[in-house]
Amino acid sequence: MNDVIELPDSTSLGAIGQPLRRKEDERLLTGRGRFSDDFTLPGQSYAAVVRSPHPHARIVEIDTRRALAMPGVLGILTGQDCAADGLSPIPHNPVPQTRYDMKLTGPGGGPIFIGPQMLLPSDRVRHVGEAVAVVVAETALQAQDAAEEVAVDYRELPWIAQIKGALTPGAIAVWDELPDNVLVDTFFGDEAATERAFAIADHIIEMEFHVGRVTGVPMEPRAALGHWDAAIGRGTLWAGSGGAVRQKTELAEVLGVPPDRVRVVSLDVGGNFGTRGFRAGLGTNDCPTDYRFEAAAVGHPFHHDLR
């Protein structure tokens, strides 16, 4: 144990150990916060997402006729619209980039494969809850009602729920471009010296660890408001996040426009915990606030609540 350090009574440690008066509480407690859902624009429309109930399935057909005929519906967008508009896949960069990080590689020392994840897939879904269509309507309730009437014909494909099973030789691959599901396979250190150390060790203990899946659960649901100003060719996205600059850059890449034509506004955020980096604006197909922020497609500012 460390010895207790005795300080003279006259020693001043400044703010250390002293309570700090918080400055932001009054504004938030009196309802003056500015979260994503607090932003509204005149004539804005609303969207609801149609999501896959299957972990792995081929999209045979998406029938939107009944939903399009419902009151207040302005448009329904699918993966075919993504392709027709020339939208790029969601950019992912999971590899640590600083000079202090271990350098990860794919199998055989090659580059790590980044799956071409579209905002709305047109061929197949690869996880439960993957978005397959977006319904835009005059009100949030109209959008949600119409989303329930979008009929998606799926052909279920084999799926695996456990990582160990996904690594089994011959297991169904998530991506057709790869022979298996191994994303990273990297060696560090001196392999020969490690083997020698084990060979002369008095005892070798082997253990298997199971790490449960976790995610951040912020109080504020993810939401976004997008507006494309056709007059100046510039869009604005209001979305609480921990990385507005990254959202701006990656949103511009998906849209195929220069970054200076995209503006991202992130003010108050009701919790982050790593879930609001890219997700609040596009992220893992959670918020397809593209299509020129959907506004160009329906002629309205566009509010998206991720239900």
Q: Which residues pair with 226 in a beta bridge?
A: 237, 302
Region 228-257 average pLDDT: 84
Max mean pLDDT among 31-35, 227-231, 272-276 falls in 31-35
pLDDT at 101: 82
Q: Is the pLDDT of residue 210 over 70?
A: yes
Residue of higher predicted confidence among 85 and 277: 85
Predicted model pTM: 0.80
Contacts of 270 (CB under 8 A, 6+ apart): 35, 218, 219, 220, 240
Between 303 and 18, where is the model more confident? 18
Give 36's pLDDT tier (boundaries 50, 70, 90). Answer: confident
* Cβ–Cβ < 8 Å for 38, 239: no
What residue ranges define each of the domains in the chain, with the CATH number in brackets? 38-216+224-305 (3.90.1170.50)
Contact present, 182 and 167 (Cβ < 8 Å): yes
| Span 149-161, pLDDT tens digits | 999 999 999 999 8
Answer whether residue 229 shows pLDDT above 90.
Answer: no
pLDDT at residue 9, as a whole number: 66
Pairing of strands 131-137, 45-51: antiparallel
Give the residue, 101 or 124, on which the prediction is more confident.
124
